[in-house]
Chains A and B, each alone.
Chain A
Amino acid sequence: MKILVAFKILPDDQDIRVAADGSLDFSKAKPIVSSYDANAMEEAAQLAKACGAEVVGITVGSSAIDDSKVKKNALSRGLDRLVMVADDTCDNLDSHATAAVLTQIAEKEAGWDLILCGDGSADNYAQQVDVQLAAALGAPSVNGVTSIKLQDGCIVCERALESSIETVEVSLPAVVSVTPSIAEARVPGMKDILAAGKKPVEALVLETDLSASVEVVSVKAPDQASRACEVLEAGEDRAIEKVAAAIRAAL
C-alpha cells in the first residue's frame, strides 16, 4: 500500500508583522509545515505502520519551500520520502492550480491508494485543494474526517459535519482530508531529525500549465476594534472588584 500526504509549506504566521502602512511583512517568517497538515502526516504515519505502507510527502510551492530545514522537519514526521515541485511560478497558487500541480506529482507516483490532506492550509484555509485534487484524479473524496479504518479495498471514515457524525465507506484509491483531532502531531526528536536527513527528496520540474482563476486585489491587516487594554495584576488591590464592576456594567 502507498499513502501520499499532501502538505503545504508556508511562512510561519507567528512571525508575520504588520508594517506601518498596514501591509503584511513576511520578511521574518520562515517556511514551516502548515500546522494542520502535520496532523495528516501523523495519521499517514500511523496508518502506514499498521499496514506496512510507504508514506510519501507531496508538496507544491515557490522555490522558498526548497529549504533544508523545513524539508528535514517534514521528513522527521514519519514520511519515507518527499516529492516536491518548488518553482517560483507556484507561489500563492489558487486551489485549482495547486491541485493541477499535485496531480502531476500523484500521476508520477502512480499506484497510490490513499492521499491524505490536512483540514485546510494555514493561509487560505479554503478546504478546496483536497476536493479539487480528487476531481482531477477522478477519485472519491471525503472531508472533515476524524478517524480512518483500513479495510479490504476501501476505508471506513468517521466525519464530523456541522450537526451530525457520519460514517462513510470510501473505495480506494481516494483522497481524504482529516481534522486535527485525528492524530496529535508529533514533536520530532533528535533521532527523527537525524534520520530525516538521509531520506530521499525528489524535486520535479513543473510540467503543468498554470492559469490563475483568482486575482488578489489587496491584502492588508484588518482594522481592529480598539479596546481599553487595562491590564492589572490579579493580586493587586481591588483589581478583581474593578473588573467585576465592569462586567456588571456591561450586562
Chain B
Amino acid sequence: MTKAMVIAEHVDAARELCAGARSLADEVVLVAFCAAPDNCADRVAAVEVPSGCALDDAYATLIPFLEEEGPEVVLVEPTKRMKSVAGRLAAYMGTAVITDVAALEDGVARGMYYGGVGQRDQRPTTSCAMYTIQPGVFAECVPSGENQVVVLDWVAPAAALKVLSTTPIEKKGVDLTKADVVVAVGRGFGSAEELQVAEDLAASLGGGVGCTRPLAEGADLMPAETYIGVSGLVVAPKVYVAAGLSGQMQHMVGCAKSGLVVAVNKDKNAPVFKQCDYGLIGDVATVLPALTAALS
C-alpha cells in the first residue's frame, strides 16, 4: 500500500497533482490552501491560514501531519510559497526536494540543468520522495476519491512571519500564454519609447508583448509577469518574434514549443539565429516597423 501527499495552493494544480498522485499510489491525501476540487483525494486537509500569518509558515502545521501520514511520495505545486513549505518539510525529513519536474517515470524525474543547457534525470534515494511538479505533467491522469475532510489546526512556528499587506498584481494586457502572436523584447531595447515598435507589431497581429528577464528585472521596462523563460512564462504561440534578444537557453526554453520563430537581431552571430525559422539581421528600430507595414 503506497501513499502520496499533494500540497497545493491553487485548485487547478491541486486537481492535476491529485490525479497524478492517484496514478502513483493507492492512497491520496491532499493538503489544500484553496477550495479542494471535488472527488480528488481520499482525504483532504484544508488549511486555513490565519490573517496576518504567512502561508510559508504552514510547515509547522504540516510537519506533524506528514509524520502521521508517512507518505512515500509528496507532490507539490511549484509556487514560491509552496517551494518554501516543501523545503521545510524536506529538511525535516532529511531529504531534498527535486524541483520543477517536467516528467516523472518510475520515480525518475526529468528536469532542466543550467536553465535548459542540459536535461537531467534524477531519482530520490530517501524513503520519502518529494517533487515540485510543473503544470501539464499529469494532464492525462484522472483524480478520484471521497474527499474525507481532515481538520488541521494552525500551528505557528517560533519566529513567525508577519504579513503586513498583500496587493494583487494587476495583470494588464494580453494573456501571453493564450495569444497567437508573442513579440518578445530583450536588451536590444533601451527605453520605454523604443518599445513602441514592438507594441505596434504585436497590436497589428492581435498579439502581446513579452520580454527577457533582464528587461523586467533590472531594466524595469516591462512588468515582471511578462518575462518568458525557465523562471518565467512558458508560451507556445503560433508566431514568436524574438526581437533584440540574444537567445540564451534560459529564455528560449520558454518559447521552444512555438510555431514559427522569427528572430530580429543586429548581431549576425547572435545564438538566437540558430534557434529560429526566419532571422532578420538588423536594428529592431527599423526592422519591426518595416514588418508591421508589410503585414498591414
Interface residues of A, Cβ cutoff 8 Å to B: 13, 16, 24, 94-97, 99, 119-120, 122-128, 130-132, 134-136, 138-144, 156, 159-171, 174, 179-181, 184, 212-222, 224-225, 227-235, 239-244, 246-248, 250-251
Contact = CB atoms under 8 A, between A and B. Distances in A.
15 contacts: A124-B113, A125-B99, A142-B54, A144-B80, A162-B79, A163-B168, A180-B214, A212-B125, A214-B125, A217-B121, A229-B279, A232-B278, A234-B282, A240-B280, A250-B259
Contacts, number: 259
A119 B227 CA distance: 15
Nearest to B120: A219
B294 A13 contact: no
A232 B280 contact: yes
B238 A250 contact: yes
A169 B57 CA distance: 13
B262 A132 contact: no
A94 B116 CA distance: 18
Which of B87, B217, B239 has the largest number of chain A CB atoms within 10 A? B87
B200 interface: no
Interface residues of B, number: 92
Interface of B is mostly: mixed
A138 B158 contact: yes
B178 interface: no
Nearest to A220: B119
Contacts of B120: 216, 218-219
Contact of A229 (B81, B159, B276): B276
Interface of B: 54, 56, 79-81, 83-84, 86-88, 90-92, 94-100, 108, 112-126, 157-169, 171, 180-181, 205, 213-214, 216-218, 220, 224-225, 230-231, 238-239, 249, 256-257, 259-264, 268, 273-283, 286-287, 290-291, 294-295
B161 A140 contact: yes
A217 B122 contact: yes
A240 B294 contact: yes
B39 to A, nearest CB: 26
B210 to A, nearest CB: 16
A179 B281 CA distance: 33
